[in-house]
Amino acid sequence: VASCSQGSSGSGGAGYTFRMPAAMPPPPERVPLPRWVVPVLTLTAAGLLPWTLWLTYSLPSRNITQHYDLAWVGFDVALLLAFAATTWFAVRSSQWLVPAAAATGTMLLCDAWFDIVTANADELLEAVLEAALAELPLAVICWFIVFDVERFRQATILRYTGTVKRMLGDES
pLDDT at 164: 64
* CB contact set of 106 (below 8 Å; sequence gap of 6+): 139
- Ranges assigned E (strand) in the chain: 3-8, 14-19
Nearest residue to 93 via CA among 144, 157, 145: 157
Contact 126, 99 (CB under 8 A): no
Contact 115, 127 (CB under 8 A): yes
pLDDT at 17: 55
Alpha carbon 52 to its chain centroid, in Å, reads 26
Q: What is the pLDDT of residues 38-97, one digit of tens each?
A: 889 899 999 999 999 998 999 888 888 899 899 999 999 999 999 999 999 988 888 898
Q: What is the pLDDT of residues 96-112, one digit of tens each?
A: 989 999 999 999 999 99
Reported as a pLDDT band with limits 50, 70 and 90, residue 9 is very low
Mean per-residue pLDDT of the chain = 82
Nearest residue to 101 via CA among 72, 64, 142, 70: 142
| Backbone φ and ψ of 115, nearest 5° | -60, -45
DSSP state of 5: E
pTM comes to 0.67
For residue 6, is pLDDT > 60?
no
Reported as a pLDDT band with limits 50, 70 and 90, residue 1 is very low
